[in-house]
Amino acid sequence: MNSTTIVIFGASGDLTGRKLVPALYNNFRKGRLPENTRIIGSARSAFTDEAFRAKMREDIQKFAAPDFDAQTWEKFAPSLHYQSGDMSQLDDYLALEQRLSSFEGKRGNRLYYLSVAPQFYPIAISMMGAAGMANETEQTGYRRIIIEKPFGRDLVSAKALNGMIHKTFQEKQVYRIDHYLGKETVQNILVLRFANAIFEPIWNRNYVDHVQITVAETVGVGHRAGYYEKSGVLRDMFQNHLLQLLTFIAMEPPAIYEADALRNEKVKVLSAVSPPVGEDLAKHAVRAQYEGYRNEPGVDKNSSTATYAALQLFVENWRWQGVPFYLRSGKKLADKISDITIQFRRPPHQLFNSQAGISERFTNHLSIHVQPDEGLHLRFAAKTPDKGMDMQPVDMEFHYKTSFGETAIPEAYERLLLDALNGDAALFARSDEIEYAWKIIDAIHAGWDGPQAPPMMTYNLGTWGPEAADAMLARDGRSWVQSDGEHKM
Ligand code: BG6
């Protein structure tokens, strides 16, 4: 009988209880897990299967709250197991391998999930290799591995990590996860662009003035200072989430919806991105820290880690030549929001002189609300009734909530875990994508460490970041679009 085992390394960590097991539970509840699926948590802590189940029950109740029901849980619980192990001990991997084989018999598919601190990736992967856990053949069933970010801390370390992984796993076995790609609204960018005929003809430099990508958070570093101090906003958010969003907006249509076809197009975009360097760096890359960051527990009193950045990037190709992509992200900002705005050019000729009620700078824009209140807003001018030819900006809106129901949007991990189980790597990053993304981030870091580095700004808590980021757009006669669709003046 065919069986599937999901092995979560780092099972006592936050991610397992908060995201992974609730997502697997939901997939089970929806009848989407393959038949005979087992989940084995592994970490150093000593748990029995029963104790692990009890902990997971609590977590599911908390993090999959409205979807928890005791009956489904009773059916799901027996599939959960636990095996304690030390990441650096080959014997522990051999014991795990033995337990897996005893479950599986001759054949069983396996999905490993590496949810451990990144410094353990090399040892875990080489030990898995040494224990024979990575060999996949027709007879054994598949062996796949999901790896969490951060994937290296620069190009050199990412290449070394890729090289190291490829000694044990072939690229086709590797699923590098970026949870932004599991978000419905991000996948919908592909549908919006490539399943509709009306957007693509204007999706280029002839009609688009610029693109804005904002990923704002209200939280600070919290208890993650140890990680964050070494990472900062460019490594934590830009190298992965923001650049992934950029690729979805900027890519050419792939000929087919298939992992490598899609990822080839994304790689082309990343390889065409030109980051600001030299004198441009100070003008086109703003960095800042939130007020009080240096007093956070675990943060260096002289820390030079940026918690906010705003960048102007160009995609140097036929479609996007000369169109700026403004990206910004930060912690402790005014709102938790991820938005993408495609700002269109002005009409070539102004027919209506009387512009009362509408700003001089009014143009059409399409905003993709990635989260929260997921949806799309298309802004255009409408004639104000009974007021001559005065105009006002109005929005045509699509909200997931109203079209598909309040609970239509699943957690990103549900889709991604399912895709990995189904062998669909389209929404996972390939090694070359990761490396091109690092090239961009490394160039900016190099500038920030060099003689032409822009100063580190401080921004007030609960604002939209430093004024320098507004000035960056204002110099080009532009401004950030706020979440209500208005331009920040
Ligand atoms: C993670 C970052 O990848 O994404 C965190 O490490 C950040 O610092 C998080 O808070 C944001 O994700 P989301 O889905 O809440 O926007």
Q: Give dist(CA 267, CA 252) in Å, integer.
A: 11
Where in 331-364 does DSSP place strands (E)?
Answer: 337-344
Ligand 1 neighbour 217 (Cβ under 6 A): yes
- Cα three-residue angle 203-210-402, rounded to 5 degrees: 65
pLDDT digits over 282-304, tens only? 899 999 999 999 999 999 999 99
- Give which of 242, 266, 250, 267 is closest to 208, Cα–Cα: 250
Q: Which atom of ligand 1 is nearest to the CA of 236?
A: 6
pLDDT digits (tens, 9 = 90+) for 395-437: 999 999 999 988 778 999 999 999 999 999 999 999 999 999 9
Residue 162 sits at φ, ψ, to 5 deg, of -60, -45
pLDDT digits (tens, 9 = 90+) for 188-241: 999 999 999 999 999 999 999 999 999 999 999 999 999 999 999 999 999 999
**Strands (DSSP E) found in 167-221:** 174-176, 208-216
The number of the ligand 1 atom at minimal distance from the alpha carbon of 221 is: 8
Q: Do residues 290 and 250 lie in contact, with contact meaning Cβ atoms separated by under 8 Å?
A: no
Domains of the chain in start order, with CATH, are 3-148 (3.40.50.720), 181-411+428-474 (3.30.360.10)
According to DSSP, the residues that pair with 374 across neighbouring strands are none
Q: List, in order, residues 6 or more apart from 15 with CB less than 8 Å away.
A: 115, 148
Q: Distance between CA atoms of 475 and 284, rounded to whole angstroms?
A: 10
CA of 179 to the centre of ligand 1 (A): 9
Confidence class for position 338, pLDDT limits 50, 70, 90: very high
CA distances from 285 to 270, 333, 335, 393, 418 (A): 18, 18, 22, 31, 38
Nearest Cα to 364, choosing from 384, 390, 391?
391
Centre of ligand 1 to C-alpha 331, Å, is 10
- Pocket probe for ligand 1: among 18, 63, 179, the residue whose CB has the most ligand atoms within 8 Å is 179
pLDDT at 443 over 60: yes
Using one digit for the tens of pLDDT, what is the confidence trace for 356-398?
Answer: 566 666 889 999 999 999 999 999 999 889 988 888 899 999 9
**436 to 270, 466, 480: CA distances (angstroms):** 6, 28, 27
Q: Residue 238 C-alpha to ligand 1 middle, in angstroms? A: 11
How much distance in Å is there from the Cα of 22 to the middle of ligand 1?
Answer: 18
Helix (H, G, I), strand (E, B) or coil at 288: strand
Instruction: Select which of 241, 284, 365, 445 is catalytic.
Output: 241
Q: Is the CB of 411 under 6 A from ligand 1?
A: no
With the most atoms of ligand 1 within 8 angstroms of its CB, the residue from 19, 237, 308, 409 to mutate is 237
Instruction: Tell me how far the alpha carbon of residue 487 is from its chain's centroid.
Output: 26
Which among 148, 217, 307, 333 is the best mutation to test ligand 1's pocket, defined by most ligand atoms within 8 Å of the CB? 217
Q: Which atom of ligand 1 is closest in space to residue 183's alpha carbon?
A: 14
17, 21, 23, 29 alpha-carbon torsion, rounded to 10°: -130
In contact, 194 and 253? CB cutoff 8 Å? yes
Active-site residue flag, 241: yes
Q: What is the number of other CB atoms lying within 10 angstroms of the CB of residue 343?
A: 22
Q: Report pLDDT digits (tens) over 66-81.
A: 889 999 999 999 999 9
Residue whose CA is at the smallest distance from ligand 1 atom 4:
237
Whether residue 236 has its Cβ less than 6 Å from ligand 1: yes
Tens of pLDDT along 35-60? Answer: 999 999 999 999 999 999 999 999 99
